[in-house]
Structure 1
């Protein structure tokens, strides 16, 4: 045959190395990067490589968003503290300059948020193999994008000096019943801290590990922010809960202080330590009542602190109880030690029973049927019997809930013995059935022989 079945010459084929690496091997031993054309967007290797690049890009965008959000919050805190300390005025050029810088960082933050969602949509497009990104956009995604843009847009605006009237909650010590609009915007600006949660999730190895993604797809489990948060809470509960509690108390204390200072400059809550005390007792649902907020804004923040404290403290108590609970191995060892102690107690009680019984017998043998000595030994005998019975009952109760390696091995040995005996019985039954079949066959042959003999005799009698 002149024409070969396969083409002669160098040919390329995609070699699978891992879910994160695809290389192209050339038949002469060289390697070069695979560069698919525009028509190869449905190629698995190209899609996986594209997905990896987009994940890395989205991670970098999340880092930029988090840094911009923190910069904006720090600038606002610096501006507010300078104004409250009297270093600069709320309408001064320095304060307006800081707010202008904050507005510039907010614009870049909004751009990064849009870029993050656009990268996520391109990632979904690469994973699903869509050609048009609009096919993956749903009403939920549009709503999520709008809410994030609204939250990140909130910040104190420069050259804005409006005041919002608020109720004084019936207090007679307030000198002001209005709150600056920029103060409310400053408090709402802390909503940007959700970017920290996104930053932590995207920098967790569980979110990018291909093995975890594969297992999640097979088990129909979504590897998302909720999964990563539960994993972190399970692995490092003290760090997660401690960070949430401390950050919540500090942020709410600063916000309460801001509200109270604008409502009443002479308020006790103008001191940060007093604000922390109020937030802490409210967060822990203690509520001594020695210090209370007098502004409508401060009371709303205190109410939110109490609601957050109920959930976080309950979660902390549950995690603490789970950590204090003995593991299965620890429980087995503790139960085993208790059983040894109960065995020793039962043996001592049994020896006391024998000893007191012998003494009572000796006393009765010597004619002491009544008296304090006999009564004392009888009481000791009853106590020893009761102690022995209690030890046996407690040991049997512990044995019911004790499953350890020794019990498992003994149960497995018993099961193996039962299986072996069943197999032997089955072989015996099979042998008996085989013997019965042979007997039936022999009886059938004998019946046929008898029938033939009877037929032969009958024929002979007819002939005669």
Structure 2
């Protein structure tokens, strides 16, 4: 009975989560509902089919779904706030309404409302993350999962998302340059313009959206393998995977989105940007802002559109740095795409080797041919024979030099070919060699054993005769 109970105990699967030592796992093997069987207690592990653990598993699945919804809602409300900001700036710029008008105040109120909802959703998202961490760690108290890094991240996200323009008519002073860029002047900028610039930092939620909706994050098997290898399935991992699989699409998409949103940011912020030649202000034209971002991104800078404020210059510097990074990454990707694969390199090496082998045979034949002609005209009976002798001697030296060059090219090709040895092919060949050696060793061992049996069979009559003689000698002595 005890053996059957132990076997039943071992047949239950355990989850690899730590379990408190003061708590025990009760296992009833007799199937009685009243707990009448023998009970075994384990200080480690959790039975996956226990009711509490099934509830935790279902709870974890529900939390995963809620986390996806929280991420989606946060991105939606962030985009709504940014769109309202852009719409309000366009209405004011085109003189449809004033900053003190009803439409402007309503839009700013809607922006403030979406900001409040966004902050609540972000706090909800981090609360879900905290609950998932508590379930994964097997802790009983949620305070165990609170770390300084999590607190700093929550504080930073709330601070970034809480910045938004609100209904006001306040002005702030900023320093700008004159049209000749030789003197500075003070300008008054609306406060909502200054507050609308940090609102574009909310686009970091798109990175979280990409990470959560990626196939690496949605696939449980991928997450399990990544956790076993101590790899975090986050936005960095997803971005590296996309850059490895679709580098050109990622770079082109990022460049296009950067141009569009940076031009919108420059237009919404209404930084003073002048047209150098005729002095016509170009503050409210999106195409000119897009042109300025594109030429600065490519590090060209024609000088027809110049930022007058230091804030605009900071944006131009940021655009140039990002453009240099993207350009270098694009060059690296193009170089990687233009690089030949191993199969293509093997084909080229094979064709080059065939060509060099043919050239080596031809040059060797030329050496022998010129040697024969030198031997033929060696006597130099006439002036014409002497000229032919000198000609074939020169050809002989040239063919020798050409033969040496072909041999040197073959040596360099062999060195390049050694670097292209396929590791899988080398492993397969090594495995086949080891298997052959093992078979030969087994054959040799069987032959030695068979030889030993034959020797025993041959020596058996002699040993019997020797034993008979020994017994006969002993009987004579007795």
Tell me the TM-score normalised to structure 2 length: 0.73
Report if aligned partners of 1:167, 1:296 keep a CA contact under 8 Å in 2: yes
CA-CA distance at 1:166 after TM superposition: 2.6
Question: Does the C-alpha gap of structure 1 residues 386 and 240 become closer, same or farther in structure 2, counting only changes over 3 Å?
Answer: same
Measured after TM superposition, the shift of residue 62 of structure 1 is 0.6
Q: Is the 8 A contact 1:283 1:308 kept in 2?
A: yes
2:58 matches 1:49: yes
Q: Measure, in 2, the Cα distance between the counterparts of 1:329 and 1:57.
A: 48
- Corresponding residue for 1:456? none
Distance across 2 between alignment mates of 1:416 and 1:376: 58
Equivalent residue, structure 2, for 1:110: 119
How much has 1:125 moved relative to structure 2?
A: 1.4
Consecutive unaligned residues in structure 2, runs of 5 or more: 6-10, 15-30, 32-48, 457-478
| C-alpha separation in 2, matches of 1:421 and 1:415 | 10
Deviates more, 1:265-274 or 1:295-304: 265-274
CA spacing shift, 1:409–1:68, aligned 2, 3 Å: closer
Residue 396 of structure 1 aligns with which residue?
411
Q: Secondary structure at the match of 2:361?
A: helix
Residue by residue, what CA displacement relative to the aligned partner does 1:56-112 show, whole Å, maximum 9, x if unpaired? 211111111111111111111111122222222233221221111122222211111
Stretch moving more, 405-414 or 178-187: 405-414
Change (3 A) 1:208 1:258: closer
Q: Is the 8 A contact 1:260 1:267 kept in 2?
A: no
Shift of 1:277: 3.0
Please, which of 79, 82, 96 is the counterpart of residue 87 of structure 1? 96
Q: Which whole-Å CA distance do the structure 2 matches of 1:336 and 1:287 have between them?
A: 49
Note if 1:246 corresponds to 2:256.
yes
Q: State which of 93, 96, 105 in structure 1 corresponds to 2:105.
A: 96
**1:76–1:102 CA contact under 8 A, matched in 2:** yes
Residue 88 to residue 259, structure 1, CA distance change in 2 (3 Å): same
Contact 1:47–1:127 (CA<8 Å) still a contact in 2?
no
Separation in structure 1 between the aligned mates of residue 334 and residue 155 of structure 2, nearest angstrom: 39
| Distance change >3 Å, CA 189–CA 371, structure 1 → 2 | farther
The answer to whether the 8 A contact 2:366-2:396 is kept is: yes
Secondary structure of 2:173's counterpart equals strand
Distance change >3 Å, CA 348–CA 271, structure 1 → 2: farther
Distance 1:348 1:142, change over 3 A: same
Q: Is 1:346 aligned with 2:360?
A: yes
5+ residue gaps, structure 1: 7-12, 17-26, 28-38, 439-464
Distance of 2:401 and 2:55 partners within structure 1: 79
CA distance in 2, matches of 1:365, 1:376: 15
Q: Matches of 1:368 and 1:269 in 2, distance apart?
A: 96
Per-residue displacement from partner, 1:227-260 (whole Å, max 9, x unpaired)?
A: 1221111111112222222222222233334456
Question: 1:267 maps to which residue?
Answer: 281
Q: In the superposition, relative to structure 1, how do residues 418 and 125 fare at CA in structure 2: closer, same or farther (>3 Å)?
A: closer
Match of 2:215 in 1: 205
Q: Please tell me whether the aligned partners of residues 171 and 188 of structure 2 are also in contact (alpha carbons under 8 angstroms).
A: no
**1:116-175 Cα shifts (integer Å, max 9, x gaps):** 111111111121122222221112111111111111122221234322323437836988
Partners of 1:338 and 1:178 lie apart in 2 by 72
| Alignment equivalent of 2:135, drawn from 126, 130, 134 | 126
1:85-234 matched pairs, under 5 angstroms: 85-168=94-177, 171=181, 177-234=187-244
Cα drift, residue 270 of structure 1? 4.8
- The aligned counterpart of 2:334 is 320
Q: 1:238 is paired with a residue of what secondary structure?
A: helix
3-state secondary structure, aligned to 2:306: coil
| CA distance 1:421–1:321, change in 2 (3 Å) | same
Partner of 1:20: none
Retained in 2: the 8 A contact 1:260–1:295?
no
Q: 1:10 — aligned with what?
A: none
Query: In 2 relative to 1, CA 379–178 (structure 1 residues): closer, same or farther, beyond 3 Å?
Result: farther
Do the aligned partners of 2:273 and 2:283 also contact (CA within 8 Å) in 1?
Answer: no
1:417-458: CA deviations, max 9, x gaps? 994799499969x99xx9xxx9xxxxxxxxxxxxxxxxxxxx
Say what the alpha-carbon RMSD is for the aligned residues.
4.0
SS at match of 1:222: coil
- CA gap of 1:272–1:371, structure 2 versus 1, over 3 A, is farther
